[in-house]
Amino acid sequence: MQDAQPKDLPHRLYKQYRFQLSATTSSLNIPKLDVDTAVSAANFDLAHPIPRRFTQMIKTHGYAAQSATTPLALFDYEHREPGPKDVHIEIDFCGICHSDIHQARNEWGNAIYPMVPGHEILGTVKQVGAEVTKFKVGDLAAIGCMVDSCRICASCKAGEEQYCDNHATVFTYNSKDKQGNLTFGGYGTNIVADESFVLKVPTNLDPAAVAPLLCAGITTYSPLKHWNAGPGKKIGVVGLGGLGHMALKFSHAFGAHTVMFTTSPGKIEDAKKLGADEVVLTKEPNWHAAHAGTFDFILDCVSADHDINPYLALLKRDAVYCTVGVPETPISVHAFSVVAGRKSVTGSAIGGIKETQEMLDFCGKHNIVSDIEMTSFDKLDEAWTRVIKGDVKYRFVLDLKSLK
Ligand code: NAP
Ligand code: ZN
Ligand code: ZN
């Protein structure tokens, strides 16, 4: 590795900083990554490192899971003092995503405790570092599922940080940052992140209803765009929850003929209001017969185990079935379901920062927000129970005032 020690940086601090970074990159299994390149690409402030013990950490009050089986409870913790490129946000609203529940309950097998969930974050800028250009104190700002990545690989450079080739995406919670510190999400009063991963919020929309766009919004916008949902296309959406209702709104806004597949008779009328041209109740016998071989693209937004093979029969030749839902159990595909008609089954994860900003701007322009039900931390257990039952219309949003 080349010697990148800045002239005005004491050698002892430089060595300490490099040691920390090397440890972090190797613990993340980043292959042969040149630490100095990562340091400069990530804009670490090598010239002015501040040893952690001298900093003014941001004291934060939140709710954390301490294990897979205990309910979330009050938890006090700290975020780092904002560095030169950091934005400190006081959180006003945070959406409840089904992924919060999957992770807190370790259904994906990757839980790190204590875990402060929440990646649909909307708040007000409280402090900015000296080199921040996008935000000033008092601005609305938003954070989604990521707060950093390697920034030097092909995927990061392409604006697809969620697919970082070095597996160095730092998620907003249940993840470790480049210094090895655990990240904490939006079920708390504050957050600090590099401005490159902080989004600007259209000012004409209800901020509480914007919060869910940061995950449910981008996770559905991105695949619908990628697979060209638009006029002349027939698009299916499976599961009318937080993601599903945003998929309906976007597919409709893009001009596609949109069909909702739901297990809930009580959601049929809502689905039509949200943008569905047709609604199929999948509990009815022979529900698939009328649509066989007619879809260009189907987006699966279901959180629980279900059989996707009947949906594959609804695709046209060469068409795509994409899951954004991530149930605990593996998806099972019968070979005949894809062999006949050369069909593809794939998946999609959130969306990059550039595309997330594009989605927020699109929503500002077209007046699109999430349909929300406000809730508070004293009702968190009840809210999670209702999400699991599919009984929410269509996203819970936590009001952080209930914690302050
Ligand atoms: P949600 O609000 O709970 O919605 C899930 C919907 O799935 C329910 O409303 C229900 O719709 C349907 N459903 C539930 N159980 C079902 C079952 N047993 N069989 C068939 N349908 C069922 O969840 P969400 O927050 O939208 O998240 C959905 C999934 O996406 C979760 O697994 C989440 O972790 C994942 N996710 C992935 C990404 C990504 O980047 N890929 C990002 C965010 C979330 P109906 O009542 O209409 O049937
Ligand atoms: Zn989410
Ligand atoms: Zn990367």
Q: How confident is the model at residue 30 (pLDDT cuts 50, 70, 90)?
A: very low
Instruction: Confirm or reject: Cβ of 102 under 6 Å from ligand 1.
Output: yes
Residue 40 lies in a domain: no
How much is the pTM? 0.89
Per-residue buried b or exposed e for 195-230, using 16+ beta carbons within 10 Å of the residue's own CB: bbbbbbbbeebebbbbbbbbbbbbbbbbbbbebebe
Place of tokens 């613990």: 27
- What is residue 6's predicted lDDT score, i.e. its pLDDT? 53
**d(C-alpha 238, C-alpha 79), whole Å:** 38
First CA to last CA distance, the chain: 47
Q: Give the model confidence (pLDDT) of 143-168 as tens digits.
A: 999 999 999 999 999 999 999 999 99
Q: What is the CATH number of the domain that holds 183?
A: 3.90.180.10
Residue 106 lies in a domain: yes
Query: Which DSSP string do the residues of 260-319 spell out, in sequence order?
Result: EEES-GGGHHHHHHHT-SEEEETTSTTTTGGGTT-EEEEEE---S----HHHHTTEEEEE
Going by alpha carbons, the residue nearest to atom 17 of ligand 1 is: 304
- For residue 401, the CA-to-ligand 2 centroid distance in Å is 22
Q: Which ligand ends up closest to the CA of 214?
A: 2
**d(C-alpha 312, C-alpha 338), whole Å:** 7
- What is residue 9's predicted lDDT score, i.e. its pLDDT? 53
What residue type is assigned to position 124 of the chain?
T
* CA 55 to each of CA 58, 59, 188: distance values in angstroms, whole numbers, following the listed order: 9, 12, 20
CA angle 401, 194, 113 (to 5 degrees): 60
Q: How confident is the model at residue 53 (pLDDT cuts 50, 70, 90)?
A: very low
Going by alpha carbons, the residue nearest to atom 46 of ligand 1 is: 264
Instruction: Confirm or reject: Cβ of 99 under 6 Å from ligand 1.
Output: yes
Query: Are 203 and 222 members of one domain?
Result: no
Cβ < 5 A residues, ion ligand 3:
149-150, 153, 156, 164, 166
Query: Are 67 and 132 members of one domain?
Result: yes
- What is residue 55's predicted lDDT score, i.e. its pLDDT? 64
Query: Are 187 and 206 members of one domain?
Result: yes
Query: Are 196 and 244 members of one domain?
Result: no
Residue 290 lies in a domain: yes
Domain of 186, in residue numbers: 52-214+372-403
Q: Which ligand ends up closest to the CA of 145?
A: 2
| pLDDT > 50? residue 323 | yes
**d(C-alpha 389, C-alpha 205), whole Å:** 29
Q: Are 258 and 279 in contact (CB under 8 A)?
A: no
Q: Which ligand ends up closest to the CA of 119?
A: 2
Q: Which residues pair with 65 in a beta bridge?
A: 115
- For residue 98, the CA-to-ligand 1 centroid distance in Å is 7
Q: Are 207 and 400 in contact (CB under 8 A)?
A: no
Q: What is the CATH number of the domain that holds 308?
A: 3.40.50.720
Residue 352 lies in a domain: no
- For residue 99, the CA-to-ligand 3 centroid distance in Å is 23
Query: Are 124 and 75 members of one domain?
Result: yes
> Among 347, 364, 386, which residue terminates a domain?
347
**d(C-alpha 54, C-alpha 43), whole Å:** 21
What mean pLDDT value characterizes the chain?
A: 91
Instruction: Confirm or reject: Cβ of 162 under 6 Å from ligand 1.
Output: no
Using the Cα atoms of residue 133, residue 363, residue 264 and residue 396 in order, give the sign of their dihedral: positive
Domain count, the chain: 2
Query: Are 224 and 320 members of one domain?
Result: yes
Query: Are 146 and 204 members of one domain?
Result: yes
Query: Are 209 and 244 members of one domain?
Result: no
Query: Are 103 and 160 members of one domain?
Result: yes
Query: Are 230 and 323 members of one domain?
Result: yes
Place of tokens 């259904």: 107
- What is residue 404's predicted lDDT score, i.e. its pLDDT? 81
Residue 94 lies in a domain: yes
Least confident of 46-50, 288-292, 389-393, 400-404: 46-50
**d(C-alpha 379, C-alpha 347), whole Å:** 33
Instruction: Confirm or reject: Cβ of 333 under 6 Å from ligand 1.
Output: no
Instruction: Confirm or reject: Cβ of 276 under 6 Å from ligand 1.
Output: no
- For residue 238, the CA-to-ligand 3 centroid distance in Å is 31
Instruction: Confirm or reject: Cβ of 217 under 6 Å from ligand 1.
Output: no
Q: Give the model confidence (pLDDT) of 74-94 as tens digits.
A: 999 999 999 999 999 999 999
Instruction: Confirm or reject: Cβ of 267 under 6 Å from ligand 1.
Output: yes
> Among 347, 363, 393, which residue terminates a domain?
347
| Structure token digits, residue 47 | 């010239």
Query: Which DSSP string do the residues of 44-62 spell out, in sequence order?
Result: --TTS---GGGS--EEEEE
- What is residue 305's predicted lDDT score, i.e. its pLDDT? 97
Q: Give the model confidence (pLDDT) of 192-220 as tens digits.
A: 999 999 999 999 999 999 999 999 999 99
| pLDDT > 70? residue 23 | no
**d(C-alpha 217, C-alpha 350), whole Å:** 9
Query: Are 276 and 329 members of one domain?
Result: yes
Residue 35 lies in a domain: no
Instruction: Confirm or reject: Cβ of 304 under 6 Å from ligand 1.
Output: yes
From the list 329, 338, 283, the residue with the least C-alpha distance to 309 is 338
- What is residue 40's predicted lDDT score, i.e. its pLDDT? 47
Query: Are 158 and 250 members of one domain?
Result: no
Instruction: Confirm or reject: Cβ of 117 under 6 Å from ligand 1.
Output: no
Going by alpha carbons, the residue nearest to atom 22 of ligand 1 is: 302
Residue 22 lies in a domain: no
Residue 169 lies in a domain: yes
